[in-house]
Amino acid sequence: MRHLGLVSIALVAPATHAQSTFTGRVLSDSGLFLAGAEVVLTPPPMTQRTNATGEFRFVELTGGEYIVSVRMPGFAPKTDTIELADAGEARREYRLSRIEATLPEVPVTASLLDRKLWEFHERRRFGVGRFLDSAEFAKAAGTRTSDRLSMLPGIRILRGRGLAAYVSSIRSQAQIRRRLGRPCQANVWLDYINLGTGFNVNELDPSVIAAIEWYAGREATPARFAVPAKSDDPYCGTLVIWTR
């Protein structure tokens, strides 16, 4: 009788799935390695950037169907579907075609703001991150910059002394706080200058802000704004502020 009970338990025990691997390489259509290309695997969304030889590697995956999106600024993106078997390995090579963009004629009097916001709109077109242009930012409620930033999904405002306010990422906050015993802050860029973490966003009057870019995690940050994270001062999220 005892042996029968053990057999019953074995029959209802959940099946375990061996882990799978997806690797590959991203090249230009002329065969050059594309370092820093974003490779997104879903579901759930997982992002990697290619190394110096264009290689990427996803491990510890379960078997099933995945959608692969490959993006690199200046190149046409590609989408693919792969099927992974349990304990299987798939490898792909993606060749991206450079976008031969025909830009509209710009007068020689074009301002620095025009050039800055051209980059802003290009990244917004790719759809990675959250964006506010000048009209959207002006319509946001609040008289302080921190109030208007708080409308962006994934942002957490850390209050300091007086009117000071610092930006953090809701998604990355918990795990870093557990490790360091304090909240982490977003890495802030003002125009083309990296201000690092700990910048008080309320030092900026909302009226001088022309556009905002927000990336809720380091893995989502474009290569243009990616900086190495320090072990004693990691950053969670990247905030890019463009001024008039």
**Could you write out the DSSP letters of every residue in 117-137?**
HHHHHHHHHHT-SEEEEHHHH
Q: What pLDDT is stored for residue 6 in this prediction?
A: 45
Q: For residue range 70-102, what is the model confidence (pLDDT) as tens digits?
A: 999 889 999 999 999 998 899 999 999 988 756
Output the CATH code of domain 112-243: 2.170.130.10
Output the CATH code of domain 20-96: 2.60.40.10
> What is the total residue count of the chain?
244
Q: For residue range 168-212, what is the model confidence (pLDDT) as tens digits?
A: 887 655 555 555 556 788 889 988 888 888 889 998 888 889 999
Q: What pLDDT is stored for residue 5 in this prediction?
A: 47
What's the number of CA atoms in the CB half-sphere (13 Å) around residue 136?
A: 11
Q: What is the pTM of this model?
A: 0.52
* pLDDT over 50 (residue 158): yes
Structure tokens belonging to residue 13: 């025990």
- CB-based contacts of 220-225 (< 8 A; 24+ apart in sequence): 220/47, 220/128, 220/129, 221/187, 222/73, 222/123, 222/128, 222/129, 223/36, 223/49, 223/73, 224/73, 224/119, 225/187, 225/189, 225/194
Average pLDDT over residues 117-143: 86
What are the domain boundaries of the chain?
20-96, 112-243
Q: For residue range 179-188, what is the model confidence (pLDDT) as tens digits?
A: 555 678 888 9
Number of Cβ within a 10 Å radius of residue 170: 13
Query: Same fold for the domain at 20-96 and the one at 112-243?
Result: no
* Opening angle at CA 105, ends 102 and 111, nearest 5: 115
